[in-house]
Homo-oligomer: A and B are copies of this chain.
Amino acid sequence: MLETFPNPEPGRDYEITHTAHEFTSLCPITGQPDFATLVVCYVPAERCVELRSLKLYLQGYRQQGVFYEALVNRVLTDLVAALAPRRMEVRGEFSVRGGLSSVVVARHAAGGQPGPGRA
């Protein structure tokens, strides 16, 4: 589902950040909607993610029940599988529930390199 295109500048380390302002999924316990901002930041190796396919991939969670912690890790795992980036960070910023807001941040680095910093 995630489509990619060749990195136009593979000889240079550079960062790409895509911020999805309109992410929504469902709470797996109550079935109530959850809303979040999802931020994907990465240093590409051979492939970049195509923007429209990233949008559709994230829309795929609209009717799925998933916990915050599992969601962020699954998005990271899926994007790493599709892109094999040098480094990647996925951040989910979840809106207030019961007076509490939550942020989950997970990072991947090829070959144990440090992550892309504070995306």
Interface residues in chain A, defined as those with a beta carbon under 8 Å from any beta carbon in chain B: 7-9, 12-22, 24, 32-33, 35, 44, 48, 51-52, 54-55, 59, 62-63, 67-70, 72-73, 95-108
Contact between A9 and B55, CB atoms less than 8 A apart: no
Contact between B69 and A106, CB atoms less than 8 A apart: no
Q: With A19-B100, A97-B51, A99-B95 as given contacts, are A106 and B24 in contact (CB-CB < 8 Å)?
A: no
Cβ of A39 to closest chain B Cβ, rounded Å: 10
- The docked-state distance in angstroms from the alpha carbon of A4 to that of B117 is 29
Q: Which 7 A-B pairs have the closest CB atoms?
A: A14-B106, A22-B99, A9-B73, A17-B103, A8-B70, A22-B35, A15-B105
